[in-house]
């Protein structure tokens, strides 16, 4: 057992050493193709790295400092910080009446939406990869939610009077008719006692279908690029060997594209946690800006933000752990 641990540790150290050698001229790894690709990739993300260092590192440090202090605003003099250990975290977890409940609700909703988004984006990407008339037009349609959800559509939904009026009319019509097919079917299946928990998850996905479609654009593009990179010769060889389309999907398509599921999983989790309709973020804003009869408390809001960030990291770690052991990687 100790020998295996030592081997794993030595392998980890050698991997870090090789990663640094990719950027240092004068060694054998520097001239290899993976090193050249790593340097090119670093050039592409260099603007983000520089921007993060210049504009994000200091606010992150200041925010973490506020989460451990009592912050008092002073007119014309900014603010002062008084160290109070973990009092703000204690307030967020034990005193605030809504934060814990919102955190649990959003975490559960995120887990369901991530699975549904990954499945839907994969199915749509496979369909859009087929050769049919109007394929380009269909790809544009499925990418439109990315453009609309970037700020235009949420603004329309929140401030457009016609949109709100139509929503109220639809809700009123449902209440007057007394018929809600989704709710009625859900109640019927719940009374029957047949896999009620499973049906609750399925109906929650159905109720969130609008949000799922709106959040699937980037994932579809990523998976579509992976599908197009698969060599047609693999399918030709499978056809010669007598494989059916179903077998070719599970033996070729899914294993070759599965590494991209990790990218999509991480992106989907982060995208969900940053949504405008997230009740945890609303609770943090209410605490920070003193809305709903609350006083302005930058320290408590910072503690809530860091707790929310920690939960997001935990879900990313769980998703990465599951997917890296469930998928296959091909060079």
- Residue tagged 């109720």 (tokens): 207
Whether residue 201 is found in the same domain as residue 256: yes
Whether residue 51 is found in the same domain as residue 122: no
Whether residue 56 is found in the same domain as residue 187: no
Whether residue 57 is found in the same domain as residue 98: no
What is the model's pLDDT at position 75? 74
Whether residue 59 is found in the same domain as residue 183: no
d(CA 254, CA 250): 5
What is the model's pLDDT at position 126? 85
Percent of the chain surpassing pLDDT 70: 71
Closest CA to 308 of 63, 54, 87, 70: 63
- Residue tagged 């002062």 (tokens): 80
Q: State yes or no: pLDDT of 238 exceeds 90.
A: no
Whether residue 125 is found in the same domain as residue 233: yes
What is the model's pLDDT at position 306? 92
Per the structure, the complete domain to which residue 199 belongs is given by 89-328
d(CA 237, CA 245): 12
Whether residue 219 is found in the same domain as residue 322: yes
Task: Work out the average pLDDT over 68-82.
Answer: 81
- 78 domain residue, yes or no: yes
- 3 domain residue, yes or no: no
- 7 domain residue, yes or no: no
Give the single-character DSSP code of 252: I
User: Which among 29, 54, 83 is the end of a domain?
Assistant: 83
- 276 domain residue, yes or no: yes
Whether residue 283 is found in the same domain as residue 311: yes
Q: How many domains would you assign to the chain? A: 2
User: Which among 54, 83, 112 is the end of a domain?
Assistant: 83
- 133 domain residue, yes or no: yes
**pTM more than 0.85:** no
Whether residue 319 is found in the same domain as residue 252: yes
Closest CA to 23 of 37, 5, 12: 37
Q: State yes or no: pLDDT of 50 exceeds 90.
A: yes
d(CA 123, CA 127): 6
Whether residue 135 is found in the same domain as residue 210: yes
Task: Work out the average pLDDT over 292-315.
Answer: 85
- 8 domain residue, yes or no: no
What is the model's pLDDT at position 204? 62
We report the CATH number of the domain holding residue 235 as: 1.10.3720.10
Average per-residue pLDDT for the chain: 77
User: Which among 66, 83, 100 is the end of a domain?
Assistant: 83
Strands (E), 147-228: none
Whether residue 185 is found in the same domain as residue 50: no
What is the model's pLDDT at position 5? 53
- 4 domain residue, yes or no: no
Percent of the chain surpassing pLDDT 90: 10
Whether residue 93 is found in the same domain as residue 73: no
Could you report the per-residue pLDDT of 166-182, keeping only the tens digit for each? 455 455 544 554 455 55
- 43 domain residue, yes or no: yes
Could you report the per-residue pLDDT of 86-128, keeping only the tens digit for each? 899 998 888 887 888 888 888 888 888 888 888 888 888 888 8
Residue 24 main-chain phi, psi, to 5 deg: -110, 115
Closest CA to 272 of 54, 112, 142, 49: 112
């Amino acid at each position: 057992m100790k020998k295996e641990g030592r081997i794993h540790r030595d392998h980890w150290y050698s991997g870090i050493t090789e990663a640094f050698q990719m950027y240092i001229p004068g060694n054998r790894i520097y001239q290899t193709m993976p090193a050249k690709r790593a340097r090119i990739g670093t050039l592409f993300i260099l603007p983000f790295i520089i921007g993060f260092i210049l504009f994000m590192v200091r606010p992150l440090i200041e925010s973490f400092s506020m989460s451990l202090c009592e912050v008092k605003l002073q007119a014309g003099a900014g603010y002062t910080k008084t160290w109070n250990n973990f009092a703000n975290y204690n307030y967020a977890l034990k005193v605030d009446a809504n934060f814990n409940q919102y955190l649990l609700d959003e975490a559960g909703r995120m887990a369901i939406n991530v699975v549904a988004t990954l499945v839907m984006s994969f199915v749509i990407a496979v369909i859009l990869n087929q050769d049919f008339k109007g394929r380009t037009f269909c790809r544009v349609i499925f990418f439109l939610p990315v453009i609309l959800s970037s700020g235009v559509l949420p603004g329309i939904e929140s401030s457009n009077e016609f949109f709100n009026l139509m929503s109220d009319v639809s809700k009123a019509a449902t209440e007057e008719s007394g018929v809600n097919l989704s709710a009625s079917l859900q109640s019927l299946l719940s009374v029957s006692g047949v896999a009620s928990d499973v049906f609750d998850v399925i109906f929650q996905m159905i109720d969130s279908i609008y949000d799922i479609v709106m959040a699937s654009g980037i994932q579809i593009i990523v998976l579509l690029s992976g599908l197009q990179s698969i060599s047609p010769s693999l399918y030709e060889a499978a056809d010669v060997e007598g494989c059916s389309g179903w077998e070719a999907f599970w033996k070729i398509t899914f294993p070759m594209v599965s590494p991209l599921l990790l990218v999509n999983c991480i992106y989907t989790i982060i995208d969900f946690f940053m949504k405008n309709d997230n009740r945890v973020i609303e609770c943090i804003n209410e605490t920070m800006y003193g809305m709903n009869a609350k006083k302005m408390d930058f320290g408590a809001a910072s503690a809530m933000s860091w707790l929310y960030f920690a939960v997001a990291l935990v879900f990313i770690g769980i998703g990465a752990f599951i997917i890296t052991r469930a998928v296959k990687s091909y060079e």
